[in-house]
Amino acid sequence: MRGTRGLTRLGMRVSNQQSTGFRPGFVGRDSSNLAAFAPLVLRIPYVEKRISNHKKRSFLIGFTLIELLVVISIIALMIALLIPVLGAAKERGQRTVCLSNLRQLTLAWIAYAEENDSKIVLGSAHLWSGHGNPSTGEMVVITRGWLGRAFLPRNSRDRAVLLAHEDKGALWPWINDVDIYRCPRGLKGHAATYSTVVAARGCTVEGTYYTQFVDGTSLNAIGKRVGRTVLRLTKLTDIVSPGAGQRAVFIDQRQMPAGNDFYVHYLYPRWKWHSPPPIHHNGGMTLSMADGHAEYWKWKGRETLNYPRELMPMDNLFCEVLEPPPFPGVLLHEPQTEDGMYDLQRLQRATWGRLGYQGK
Protein backbone atom coordinates (compact mmCIF):
# COMPACT_ATOMS: atom_id res chain seq x y z
CA MET A 1 0.00 0.00 0.00
CA ARG A 2 2.89 2.36 0.78
CA GLY A 3 4.38 1.77 -2.64
CA THR A 4 1.02 2.38 -4.23
CA ARG A 5 0.56 5.68 -2.37
CA GLY A 6 4.08 6.72 -3.35
CA LEU A 7 3.34 6.12 -6.99
CA THR A 8 0.06 7.97 -6.59
CA ARG A 9 1.77 10.97 -5.06
CA LEU A 10 4.44 10.76 -7.71
CA GLY A 11 1.79 10.68 -10.35
CA MET A 12 0.14 13.71 -8.80
CA ARG A 13 3.40 15.61 -8.73
CA VAL A 14 4.11 14.76 -12.31
CA SER A 15 0.62 15.78 -13.28
CA ASN A 16 1.02 19.06 -11.38
CA GLN A 17 4.33 19.75 -13.03
CA GLN A 18 2.99 19.06 -16.46
CA SER A 19 0.07 21.39 -15.90
CA THR A 20 2.20 24.35 -14.58
CA GLY A 21 5.45 23.76 -16.42
CA PHE A 22 7.56 24.50 -13.25
CA ARG A 23 9.32 22.43 -10.68
CA PRO A 24 7.46 21.96 -7.47
CA GLY A 25 8.51 24.21 -4.60
CA PHE A 26 8.81 27.35 -6.75
CA VAL A 27 5.16 28.28 -6.73
CA GLY A 28 4.67 31.89 -5.58
CA ARG A 29 8.30 32.97 -6.26
CA ASP A 30 9.53 35.30 -8.95
CA SER A 31 8.99 33.56 -12.21
CA SER A 32 10.17 36.27 -14.57
CA ASN A 33 13.20 34.19 -15.58
CA LEU A 34 11.40 31.19 -17.06
CA ALA A 35 14.58 29.56 -18.28
CA ALA A 36 15.63 29.01 -14.72
CA PHE A 37 12.64 26.86 -14.13
CA ALA A 38 13.09 23.99 -16.57
CA PRO A 39 10.33 21.34 -16.49
CA LEU A 40 11.08 18.25 -14.48
CA VAL A 41 11.19 15.14 -16.71
CA LEU A 42 10.48 11.98 -14.76
CA ARG A 43 11.42 8.66 -16.33
CA ILE A 44 10.19 5.27 -15.08
CA PRO A 45 12.09 2.55 -17.06
CA TYR A 46 9.73 -0.36 -16.20
CA VAL A 47 6.62 1.51 -17.36
CA GLU A 48 8.34 2.67 -20.56
CA LYS A 49 9.34 -0.92 -21.34
CA ARG A 50 5.78 -2.14 -20.91
CA ILE A 51 4.48 0.58 -23.19
CA SER A 52 7.14 -0.18 -25.79
CA ASN A 53 6.34 -3.91 -25.79
CA HIS A 54 2.63 -3.17 -26.13
CA LYS A 55 3.29 -1.02 -29.18
CA LYS A 56 5.41 -3.73 -30.76
CA ARG A 57 2.72 -6.37 -30.19
CA SER A 58 0.08 -4.13 -31.73
CA PHE A 59 2.00 -4.27 -35.01
CA LEU A 60 2.60 -8.06 -34.85
CA ILE A 61 -0.96 -9.33 -34.27
CA GLY A 62 -1.81 -12.28 -36.72
CA PHE A 63 -1.42 -16.04 -37.33
CA THR A 64 1.78 -17.89 -37.83
CA LEU A 65 1.92 -20.53 -40.58
CA ILE A 66 1.74 -23.35 -38.05
CA GLU A 67 -1.31 -21.84 -36.36
CA LEU A 68 -3.00 -21.43 -39.74
CA LEU A 69 -2.30 -25.05 -40.66
CA VAL A 70 -3.72 -26.24 -37.33
CA VAL A 71 -6.95 -24.27 -37.90
CA ILE A 72 -7.29 -25.63 -41.45
CA SER A 73 -6.71 -29.18 -40.18
CA ILE A 74 -9.42 -28.80 -37.52
CA ILE A 75 -11.89 -27.46 -40.10
CA ALA A 76 -11.09 -30.32 -42.49
CA LEU A 77 -11.59 -32.85 -39.69
CA MET A 78 -14.96 -31.36 -38.76
CA ILE A 79 -16.09 -31.47 -42.40
CA ALA A 80 -14.96 -35.09 -42.70
CA LEU A 81 -17.01 -35.97 -39.62
CA LEU A 82 -20.09 -34.02 -40.70
CA ILE A 83 -20.38 -35.23 -44.31
CA PRO A 84 -21.19 -38.89 -43.42
CA VAL A 85 -23.64 -37.72 -40.76
CA LEU A 86 -25.44 -35.42 -43.21
CA GLY A 87 -25.40 -38.17 -45.87
CA ALA A 88 -26.90 -40.68 -43.42
CA ALA A 89 -29.60 -38.20 -42.41
CA LYS A 90 -30.46 -37.59 -46.06
CA GLU A 91 -30.68 -41.34 -46.73
CA ARG A 92 -32.97 -41.86 -43.74
CA GLY A 93 -35.28 -39.13 -45.01
CA GLN A 94 -35.39 -40.67 -48.48
CA ARG A 95 -35.97 -44.10 -46.96
CA THR A 96 -38.98 -42.73 -45.07
CA VAL A 97 -40.45 -41.45 -48.34
CA CYS A 98 -39.74 -44.81 -49.99
CA LEU A 99 -41.52 -46.72 -47.22
CA SER A 100 -44.50 -44.39 -47.54
CA ASN A 101 -44.64 -45.01 -51.31
CA LEU A 102 -44.55 -48.77 -50.74
CA ARG A 103 -47.40 -48.59 -48.23
CA GLN A 104 -49.55 -46.58 -50.65
CA LEU A 105 -48.87 -48.96 -53.54
CA THR A 106 -49.73 -51.96 -51.36
CA LEU A 107 -52.98 -50.40 -50.18
CA ALA A 108 -53.89 -49.82 -53.84
CA TRP A 109 -52.93 -53.45 -54.56
CA ILE A 110 -55.32 -54.59 -51.80
CA ALA A 111 -58.09 -52.24 -53.02
CA TYR A 112 -57.79 -53.63 -56.56
CA ALA A 113 -58.24 -57.18 -55.27
CA GLU A 114 -61.20 -56.24 -53.11
CA GLU A 115 -62.96 -54.73 -56.12
CA ASN A 116 -62.18 -57.71 -58.36
CA ASP A 117 -63.49 -60.67 -56.40
CA SER A 118 -60.20 -61.07 -54.48
CA LYS A 119 -58.17 -61.46 -57.71
CA ILE A 120 -54.67 -59.99 -57.44
CA VAL A 121 -53.48 -57.54 -60.08
CA LEU A 122 -51.07 -58.95 -62.66
CA GLY A 123 -47.58 -58.65 -61.19
CA SER A 124 -45.72 -58.55 -64.51
CA ALA A 125 -45.37 -54.81 -64.74
CA HIS A 126 -45.80 -54.05 -68.46
CA LEU A 127 -47.54 -57.18 -69.77
CA TRP A 128 -51.09 -58.12 -70.67
CA SER A 129 -52.60 -61.40 -69.58
CA GLY A 130 -55.29 -63.38 -71.42
CA HIS A 131 -55.99 -66.36 -73.63
CA GLY A 132 -57.03 -66.94 -77.16
CA ASN A 133 -60.54 -67.95 -78.18
CA PRO A 134 -60.15 -71.19 -80.18
CA SER A 135 -63.14 -70.42 -82.42
CA THR A 136 -62.38 -66.80 -83.28
CA GLY A 137 -58.69 -66.56 -82.51
CA GLU A 138 -59.32 -63.37 -80.55
CA MET A 139 -57.68 -62.61 -77.22
CA VAL A 140 -60.11 -62.64 -74.31
CA VAL A 141 -59.96 -62.12 -70.54
CA ILE A 142 -57.21 -59.53 -70.86
CA THR A 143 -55.68 -58.17 -67.66
CA ARG A 144 -53.28 -55.27 -67.62
CA GLY A 145 -50.04 -55.28 -65.64
CA TRP A 146 -50.00 -53.25 -62.45
CA LEU A 147 -47.60 -50.63 -63.85
CA GLY A 148 -48.33 -50.30 -67.55
CA ARG A 149 -46.29 -49.47 -70.64
CA ALA A 150 -46.40 -45.74 -69.92
CA PHE A 151 -43.55 -46.28 -67.47
CA LEU A 152 -41.26 -47.95 -69.99
CA PRO A 153 -38.11 -45.87 -70.54
CA ARG A 154 -39.10 -44.91 -74.09
CA ASN A 155 -42.34 -43.38 -72.80
CA SER A 156 -41.30 -42.02 -69.42
CA ARG A 157 -38.37 -39.71 -70.18
CA ASP A 158 -40.86 -36.93 -70.82
CA ARG A 159 -43.36 -36.57 -67.99
CA ALA A 160 -46.01 -35.16 -70.34
CA VAL A 161 -45.67 -38.18 -72.65
CA LEU A 162 -46.00 -40.54 -69.69
CA LEU A 163 -49.17 -38.82 -68.45
CA ALA A 164 -50.68 -38.78 -71.93
CA HIS A 165 -50.06 -42.51 -72.49
CA GLU A 166 -53.21 -44.62 -72.34
CA ASP A 167 -51.66 -47.56 -70.46
CA LYS A 168 -50.50 -46.36 -67.06
CA GLY A 169 -51.27 -49.64 -65.34
CA ALA A 170 -54.11 -51.25 -63.42
CA LEU A 171 -53.31 -49.40 -60.19
CA TRP A 172 -53.42 -45.93 -61.75
CA PRO A 173 -57.07 -45.29 -60.68
CA TRP A 174 -55.90 -45.56 -57.04
CA ILE A 175 -52.39 -44.07 -57.37
CA ASN A 176 -52.32 -41.34 -60.02
CA ASP A 177 -49.23 -39.52 -58.74
CA VAL A 178 -46.18 -40.41 -60.83
CA ASP A 179 -43.76 -39.68 -57.98
CA ILE A 180 -45.19 -42.48 -55.80
CA TYR A 181 -43.95 -45.07 -58.31
CA ARG A 182 -40.35 -44.03 -57.75
CA CYS A 183 -37.97 -44.10 -54.78
CA PRO A 184 -36.12 -40.80 -54.18
CA ARG A 185 -32.86 -42.77 -54.40
CA GLY A 186 -33.80 -44.31 -57.74
CA LEU A 187 -31.45 -44.18 -60.71
CA LYS A 188 -31.76 -41.14 -62.93
CA GLY A 189 -34.15 -41.63 -65.84
CA HIS A 190 -36.02 -44.56 -64.24
CA ALA A 191 -39.61 -43.40 -63.79
CA ALA A 192 -40.57 -46.44 -61.68
CA THR A 193 -38.28 -48.27 -59.30
CA TYR A 194 -40.72 -50.62 -57.54
CA SER A 195 -41.49 -54.20 -58.55
CA THR A 196 -43.82 -56.86 -57.28
CA VAL A 197 -42.14 -60.01 -56.03
CA VAL A 198 -42.54 -62.85 -58.48
CA ALA A 199 -44.90 -64.83 -56.22
CA ALA A 200 -47.50 -62.02 -56.36
CA ARG A 201 -48.94 -63.21 -59.68
CA GLY A 202 -45.72 -62.54 -61.51
CA CYS A 203 -44.04 -64.75 -64.09
CA THR A 204 -44.13 -68.48 -63.54
CA VAL A 205 -41.35 -70.06 -61.50
CA GLU A 206 -40.38 -73.71 -61.50
CA GLY A 207 -42.08 -75.75 -58.80
CA THR A 208 -44.62 -73.13 -57.73
CA TYR A 209 -47.66 -73.51 -60.03
CA TYR A 210 -49.81 -75.68 -62.22
CA THR A 211 -51.68 -74.58 -65.32
CA GLN A 212 -55.45 -74.20 -65.39
CA PHE A 213 -57.17 -75.06 -68.67
CA VAL A 214 -60.55 -73.91 -69.98
CA ASP A 215 -61.83 -75.63 -73.16
CA GLY A 216 -58.35 -76.89 -73.85
CA THR A 217 -56.85 -73.40 -73.64
CA SER A 218 -54.35 -72.33 -71.02
CA LEU A 219 -56.04 -69.71 -68.87
CA ASN A 220 -53.95 -69.11 -65.80
CA ALA A 221 -51.10 -70.38 -63.68
CA ILE A 222 -52.51 -71.40 -60.33
CA GLY A 223 -50.29 -71.54 -57.28
CA LYS A 224 -49.39 -74.89 -55.80
CA ARG A 225 -50.41 -75.53 -52.22
CA VAL A 226 -48.01 -77.04 -49.71
CA GLY A 227 -49.94 -77.64 -46.51
CA ARG A 228 -51.70 -74.34 -45.83
CA THR A 229 -49.19 -72.33 -47.89
CA VAL A 230 -50.09 -71.28 -51.44
CA LEU A 231 -46.87 -70.57 -53.29
CA ARG A 232 -47.95 -68.44 -56.24
CA LEU A 233 -50.57 -65.93 -55.14
CA THR A 234 -53.47 -65.17 -57.48
CA LYS A 235 -56.09 -64.17 -54.87
CA LEU A 236 -56.01 -62.45 -51.51
CA THR A 237 -57.71 -65.51 -50.05
CA ASP A 238 -54.63 -67.55 -50.98
CA ILE A 239 -52.75 -65.86 -48.14
CA VAL A 240 -53.32 -68.10 -45.14
CA SER A 241 -50.06 -69.42 -43.73
CA PRO A 242 -47.87 -67.52 -43.18
CA GLY A 243 -50.19 -64.55 -42.71
CA ALA A 244 -50.39 -61.38 -44.78
CA GLY A 245 -47.89 -59.62 -42.53
CA GLN A 246 -45.19 -62.08 -43.66
CA ARG A 247 -45.86 -62.31 -47.42
CA ALA A 248 -43.98 -59.74 -49.50
CA VAL A 249 -45.67 -57.77 -52.30
CA PHE A 250 -43.55 -54.82 -53.49
CA ILE A 251 -39.82 -54.30 -53.33
CA ASP A 252 -37.70 -51.27 -54.17
CA GLN A 253 -35.12 -52.16 -56.81
CA ARG A 254 -33.84 -48.59 -57.43
CA GLN A 255 -34.44 -49.16 -61.15
CA MET A 256 -36.88 -50.52 -63.67
CA PRO A 257 -36.86 -54.30 -63.32
CA ALA A 258 -34.62 -56.00 -65.84
CA GLY A 259 -37.33 -58.68 -65.89
CA ASN A 260 -41.01 -57.95 -65.35
CA ASP A 261 -40.87 -58.47 -61.58
CA PHE A 262 -38.39 -59.24 -58.82
CA TYR A 263 -37.46 -62.87 -59.40
CA VAL A 264 -36.67 -65.15 -56.46
CA HIS A 265 -35.98 -68.86 -56.91
CA TYR A 266 -38.10 -71.35 -55.01
CA LEU A 267 -36.25 -74.64 -55.55
CA TYR A 268 -32.67 -73.36 -55.47
CA PRO A 269 -30.56 -71.40 -52.95
CA ARG A 270 -29.28 -68.73 -55.33
CA TRP A 271 -30.01 -65.26 -56.63
CA LYS A 272 -31.45 -64.65 -60.08
CA TRP A 273 -28.99 -62.79 -62.32
CA HIS A 274 -31.44 -60.06 -63.38
CA SER A 275 -32.76 -59.49 -59.82
CA PRO A 276 -29.72 -58.59 -57.68
CA PRO A 277 -30.29 -57.87 -53.99
CA PRO A 278 -30.96 -54.11 -53.63
CA ILE A 279 -28.32 -52.41 -51.47
CA HIS A 280 -28.87 -48.68 -52.03
CA HIS A 281 -30.60 -47.99 -48.70
CA ASN A 282 -27.48 -47.99 -46.54
CA GLY A 283 -26.68 -51.61 -47.31
CA GLY A 284 -30.27 -52.76 -47.12
CA MET A 285 -33.60 -52.73 -48.92
CA THR A 286 -37.23 -51.70 -48.45
CA LEU A 287 -40.24 -53.91 -49.13
CA SER A 288 -43.95 -54.11 -48.31
CA MET A 289 -46.12 -56.91 -46.99
CA ALA A 290 -49.62 -58.03 -48.00
CA ASP A 291 -51.24 -56.49 -44.91
CA GLY A 292 -50.17 -53.00 -46.08
CA HIS A 293 -47.15 -52.27 -43.90
CA ALA A 294 -43.60 -51.68 -45.18
CA GLU A 295 -40.24 -52.67 -43.71
CA TYR A 296 -36.54 -51.90 -43.99
CA TRP A 297 -34.17 -54.87 -44.05
CA LYS A 298 -30.48 -54.43 -43.37
CA TRP A 299 -28.46 -57.12 -45.13
CA LYS A 300 -26.46 -59.27 -42.74
CA GLY A 301 -23.96 -60.86 -45.11
CA ARG A 302 -21.00 -59.00 -46.54
CA GLU A 303 -21.14 -61.08 -49.71
CA THR A 304 -24.75 -59.94 -50.25
CA LEU A 305 -23.39 -56.42 -50.65
CA ASN A 306 -20.37 -57.40 -52.70
CA TYR A 307 -21.78 -59.50 -55.54
CA PRO A 308 -20.13 -58.25 -58.76
CA ARG A 309 -22.56 -56.27 -60.89
CA GLU A 310 -22.67 -54.90 -64.40
CA LEU A 311 -24.92 -52.65 -66.46
CA MET A 312 -27.23 -54.13 -69.06
CA PRO A 313 -28.92 -51.93 -71.72
CA MET A 314 -32.70 -51.82 -71.45
CA ASP A 315 -34.59 -49.76 -73.99
CA ASN A 316 -32.71 -46.44 -73.82
CA LEU A 317 -31.47 -46.89 -70.24
CA PHE A 318 -29.22 -49.26 -68.31
CA CYS A 319 -30.18 -51.70 -65.56
CA GLU A 320 -27.91 -53.23 -62.95
CA VAL A 321 -27.62 -57.03 -63.05
CA LEU A 322 -25.32 -59.63 -61.52
CA GLU A 323 -22.18 -60.50 -63.44
CA PRO A 324 -21.87 -64.08 -64.74
CA PRO A 325 -19.47 -66.34 -62.83
CA PRO A 326 -15.78 -65.85 -63.71
CA PHE A 327 -15.32 -69.40 -65.02
CA PRO A 328 -17.51 -72.46 -65.78
CA GLY A 329 -18.45 -74.82 -62.99
CA VAL A 330 -19.12 -72.13 -60.41
CA LEU A 331 -22.63 -72.18 -58.97
CA LEU A 332 -24.55 -69.18 -60.19
CA HIS A 333 -24.75 -66.56 -57.43
CA GLU A 334 -25.14 -69.06 -54.61
CA PRO A 335 -24.20 -67.65 -51.18
CA GLN A 336 -21.09 -69.21 -49.70
CA THR A 337 -21.37 -67.86 -46.16
CA GLU A 338 -23.89 -68.40 -43.38
CA ASP A 339 -24.86 -64.72 -43.29
CA GLY A 340 -25.21 -64.59 -47.06
CA MET A 341 -27.47 -67.65 -47.04
CA TYR A 342 -29.53 -66.12 -44.22
CA ASP A 343 -30.20 -63.01 -46.37
CA LEU A 344 -31.30 -65.05 -49.38
CA GLN A 345 -33.51 -67.44 -47.43
CA ARG A 346 -35.16 -64.63 -45.51
CA LEU A 347 -36.30 -63.10 -48.79
CA GLN A 348 -37.30 -66.49 -50.24
CA ARG A 349 -39.53 -67.17 -47.23
CA ALA A 350 -41.14 -63.72 -47.52
CA THR A 351 -41.72 -64.31 -51.23
CA TRP A 352 -43.01 -67.91 -51.24
CA GLY A 353 -44.02 -68.44 -47.64
CA ARG A 354 -41.52 -71.29 -47.31
CA LEU A 355 -38.36 -72.75 -48.85
CA GLY A 356 -38.54 -75.25 -51.71
CA TYR A 357 -35.36 -77.03 -50.62
CA GLN A 358 -33.80 -78.22 -47.39
CA GLY A 359 -32.55 -75.13 -45.57
CA LYS A 360 -31.81 -73.80 -42.13
Report which of residues 2 and 340 the model is more confident about.
340
141/136 Cα distance (integer angstroms):
14
At residue 109, the pLDDT reads 97
* CB of 250 closer than 8 Å to CB of 175: no
Asked if residue 288 has pLDDT above 60, the reply is: yes
Q: Which of 21-35, 39-53, 83-97 has the lowest mean pLDDT?
A: 21-35
C-alpha dist (Å) from residue 353 to 195, 206, 264, 359: 18, 15, 12, 13
Q: Is the pLDDT of residue 4 over 60?
A: no
CB atoms within 10 A of CB 245: 12
293 phi, psi to nearest 5 deg = -95, 160
Alpha carbon separation from 338 to 299, 301, 323 (Å, rounded): 12, 8, 22
Give the pLDDT of residue 269. 95
pLDDT surpasses 90 at 263: yes
pLDDT above 90 covers a percentage of the chain that reads 51
pLDDT of residue 134: 56
Whether the full predicted model's pTM is greater than 0.85, yes or no, is no
Report the percentage of the chain scoring pLDDT > 70: 75
* pLDDT averaged over every residue in the chain: 81
- Residue 131's DSSP bridge partners are 140
Q: Identify the band that residue 140 occupies on the pLDDT scale cut at 50, 70 and 90.
A: low
Which uninterrupted H or E stretch holds 5? Answer: helix 2-20
Domain limits, the chain:
117-352
**Mean pLDDT for the stretch of residues 149-168:** 87
Instruction: Quick: pLDDT tens for 119-135.
Output: 999 998 887 766 555 56
What residues contact 33, with CB distance under 8 A and at least 6 apart? Answer: none
- Mean pLDDT over residues 267-295, rounded? 95
Per-residue pLDDT band for 67 (boundaries 50, 70, 90) equals confident
Contacting residues for 271 by C-beta, under 8 A, at least 6 apart: 265, 277, 307, 322, 333, 334, 344
Residues 120 and 122: their CA atoms lie apart, in Å, by: 6
Angle at Cα 202 formed by Cα 213 and Cα 339, nearest 5°?
Answer: 130
- Give the pLDDT band of residue 50 (cuts 50, 70, 90): low
Give the model's pLDDT for residue 301. 94
- CB neighbours of residue 211 within 10 Å: 10
Alpha-carbon distances of 358 from 55, 134, 266, 267, 346, rounded to whole Å: 88, 43, 11, 9, 14
Q: How far apart are CA 254 and CA 101, in angstroms?
A: 13
Report the pLDDT value the prediction gives residue 55, as an integer from 0 to 100: 53
With 60 as the cut, is the pLDDT of residue 216 above it?
no
Distance (Å) of CA 135 to CA 138, 139, 346: 8, 11, 47
pLDDT reported for residue 88: 75
Q: Is the pLDDT of residue 350 over 90?
A: yes
How sure is the predictor about 298, in pLDDT bands with cuts at 50, 70 and 90? very high
Give the residues across from 294 on adjacent strands.
288
